[in-house]
Structure 1
Amino acid sequence: MYVAVKGGEAAIANAHRLLVDRRRGDRRVPALTIEQIAGQLALAVDRVMAEGSLYDPELAAMAVRQSRGDLIEAIFLIRAYRTTLPRFAASSPIDTGRMLIERRISATYKDLPGGQLLGPTFDYTHRLIEPDMAEDGFVAEPARRDPGETGPAPRVTDILGDEALIEGDGRDGGGEPADLTRSPLAFPATRDLRLQALARGDEGFLLGLGYSTQRGFGRTHPFVGEIRIGEVEVEVDLPEFGFPVVIGRVRVTECQMVSQFTGSKSEPPQFTRGYGLVFGQMERKAMSMSLVDRALRADEFEEERRAPAQDEEFVLAHCDNVQATGFVEHLKLPHYVDFQAELDLLRTMRAERPTAAPPTEEPAAERDGSQ
């Protein structure tokens, strides 16, 4: 389609060298280390892991450094690397009820069984720049933690479930879940496939959709049943052993939204669920995901789908930031042939169109309506 442009390879090579130079920055300043990025820019690393579908803080930190802090570019790098990895097993579903909790809050129960734990959060900061941050040697006072503050913590939805005030959690116990990384997205999508797409989806896009549901474009009246952040064990069931084996821990954020449901022909009045689960500490993303998940379940509750957040194809086909980036940024590529064809067509259409006579100027008195 395109005519080859000679000399392009040299220009591209020079662009790559310039990129490397700009990425390094001022040589008088020490280079960022992977440990610094993973430890001090942890939330950026968590987003790259979550939307890149690969849990590896060190690799995600490398991608953040390579991309000069462009997180979508870093996510692209992680996904590309992920395709080179072999898949030797599927893990068992993680049990967030056994989470080693770092943060746990609920907007539904003040005296939450197991207690509320604020953990590391920006929620109560004043959003003012701290001058101390300008100091290279700034060291914050280490947090003190009560060793006894992490006891058994039943889920809020389990408490509601004991009174039959909320729908079931959807555990069917059978069938292998779909894998979005191995098979293309198809519509209508099952809920497990939708949740995978939302977990990989762009945080900003889902945040906007979640916000729209709260403003009336999604028929949801949500409460934060619970947000919990912490480490969970990952187990693999090995046939040779006959029992599951723990292969490591991952840090995740889980959010369960509860929304009022007035009932239908087949369901009684009850609370319904919206669910979000992502790698790392990403509660804004988990909350947005759970809001959109509930909105996408409109058909299950015989609700009319009228809002963008309820349109499964619109949401799932546009939430992936890597795909969106490809479609938008491809416009930078050469479109010389296409443009010349449209330019010739436009010139032909203008040449064939009769020249319109210029409008005659009316006297001022007639425009005013005066005699």
Structure 2
Amino acid sequence: MYVAVKGGERAIDNAHAWLAEERRGAPDVVELSVEQIREQLAIAVNRVMAEGSLYDPDLAALAIKQARGDMIEAVFLMRAYRTTLPRFGTTFPVDTGQMRCVRRVSATFKDLPGGQILGPTFDYTHRLLDFKLAAEGDVTLAPEATEAAPEVPHVTEFLNSEGLIEEECRTDAEPPDLTREPLETPASRALRLQTLTRGDEGFLLSMAYSTQRGYGRNHAFVGELRIGVVSVEMDIPELGFSIAIGEIELTECETVNQFKGSKTEPPQFTRGYGLVFGQSERKSISMALVDRALRWKELGEDDSGAPAQDEEFVLYHADNVQATGFLEHIKLPHYVDFQSELELVRKLRREVAAKDEVT
């Protein structure tokens, strides 16, 4: 839009050059490599992969570097690149029950098969700046080699054995694909989960927090939070059988929620679910809380009018790329629109002034 302005194209080229200079920073400082970002800013990389709907740590690290650390801009870059990729097929659903966990905790059962695995977490660290990191010294390694734990069952299976938690609804129907079809409401739970898993982490955190503060109150326990690696399998028609094409890291959260029962269901626990690329605990827990809040209708609960229970509000405002585009477009030239508004206000003021003179 600025190209139409006199000198606009040259100004844009200069702005790009200035941006590249700012991105690089002081030339006497060693340039940050994509490998460094991938390995040492893994949480940021995981967020960009999740909200960009593309599992590729190298591309996510590159996007972060190109965006100068702007997470939403990096997500936008990933989404744009994703649209250029061919689709060769569809993988089978991953089996998180076969996950090799590096972290697995439960707030509902102290002793559970496979044990609690603390793993790499900030939960028990002191929130004090560690100035040793500024010295760029070697990191003290863990006393034992960090290996993924063997496959362990889901905690909710223990409750399920007693019939105390709702049965998980499973279907062979192919779920809708949010990356190919626009979002429409009312949406199935599969479509809602797709929207939430690529939604903005901050937005989902706010929505989840609101449910804990009483807006659509739904008391939740973290039945299980697990982080680990799962195998991704795909059917190869030429071979006549499926093969594992790789492994991805996932964070999965299952919440156990109170439910007083309804006209058709007895009192029992219900479920909330979150699944996110990489290590992303805050996002997966938030997703599970919001998922449960959005299920009020199918569970026969009353609508409290809380924001987190409003499907249209949550789903249409969770996407940070769409929100950013709509928000930031107002800084682009609106000269003609503003001039018409300006002339309208002047006209109205003249009419008011004329009436005042008459009276």
Q: Identify the TM-score tier after normalising by the shorter chain.
A: over 0.9
Q: Could you tell me how far 1:242 is from its partner in structure 2?
A: 3.5
1:18 aligns with 2:4: no
Distance 2:347 2:174 in 1: 58
Q: What SS does the aligned partner of 2:182 have?
A: coil
Equivalent AA in structure 2 for residue 260 of structure 1: Q
Q: Distance in 2 between matches of 1:346 and 1:217?
A: 41
Alpha-carbon distance, 1:3 to partner: 10
Which position in structure 2 is the counterpart of 1:334?
Answer: 333
Return the offset for 1:147. Answer: 7.5
Aligned twin of 1:364: none
Which position in structure 1 is the counterpart of 2:165?
A: 166
Question: Partners of 2:139 and 2:89 in 1: how far apart?
Answer: 42
Instruction: Quote the offset at 1:33 in angstroms.
Output: 0.8
Report the Cα distance in structure 2 between the residues aligned to 1:145 and 1:205, rounded to whole angstroms: 38
Q: Quick one: distance in 2 between partners of 1:242 and 1:331? A: 54
Larger Rg: 1
Question: In structure 2, what residue type is equivalent to 1:224?
Answer: V
Query: What is the percentage of aligned positions where both structures have the same residue?
Result: 63
Cα contact 1:2–1:337 (8 A) shared by 2 = no
Deviations 1:280-306 (A, max 9, x none): 000100000000000000101112221
Map of 1:275 onto structure 2: 273
Q: CA RMSD in A?
A: 1.7
2:285 — aligned with what?
A: 287
Q: Does 1:264 align with 2:262?
A: yes
Question: Could you tell me how far apart the structure 2 residues matched to 1:113 and 1:85 are?
Answer: 42
Gaps of 5+ in 2: none
Written as runs of structure 1 = structure 2, the 5 A alignment for 1:1-371 is: 4-136=4-136, 138-145=137-144, 150-172=149-171, 174-305=172-303, 306-354=305-353
CA contact 1:2–1:336 (8 Å) conserved in 2: no
Q: Which amino acid aligns with 2:238?
A: E
- Assess, with a 3 A threshold, how the Cα gap between structure 1 residues 147 and 317 changes in structure 2: closer, same or farther: closer
d(CA) in 2 for partners of 1:21 and 1:354? 53
- Amino acid of the structure 2 residue aligned with 1:154: P
- Aligned CA distance change for structure 1 residues 147 and 339 (closer, same or farther; 3 Å): closer
Change in CA separation of 1:147 and 1:354 when aligned onto 2, cut-off 3 Å: closer
Count of equivalent residues: 355
Which of 84-93 and 242-251 deviates more? 242-251
Change (3 A) 1:46 1:148: closer
CA contact (8 A) 1:101 1:229 kept: yes
- SS state at 1:261 partner: coil
One-letter amino acid matched to 1:248: G
- The answer as to whether partners of 1:255 and 1:277 remain within 8 angstroms in 2 is yes
Identify if the C-alpha distance between structure 1 residues 149 and 354 changes in structure 2 by more than 3 Å, giving closer, same or farther: closer
1:118 match: secondary structure: coil
For 1:120 and 1:346, locate their aligned partners in 2 and report how far apart those are by CA, in whole Å. Answer: 60
Q: 1:129 to 1:77 in 2, by over 3 A?
A: same
SS of aligned partner of 2:243: strand
The secondary structure found in structure 2 opposite 1:270 is: coil
Describe the SS at the equivalent of 1:340.
Answer: helix
Q: Tell me: CA distance 1:322–1:147, structure 2 relative to 1, closer, same or farther (3 Å).
A: closer
Post-superposition offset of 1:354: 4.5
Cα deviation for residue 240 of structure 1 reads 3.4
**Compared CA separation, residues 148 and 205, structure 1 to 2 (3 A):** closer
TM-score (norm 1): 0.93
Structure 1: 5+ residue stretches without partners: 358-371
In 1, Cα distance between the equivalents of 2:152 and 2:100? 10
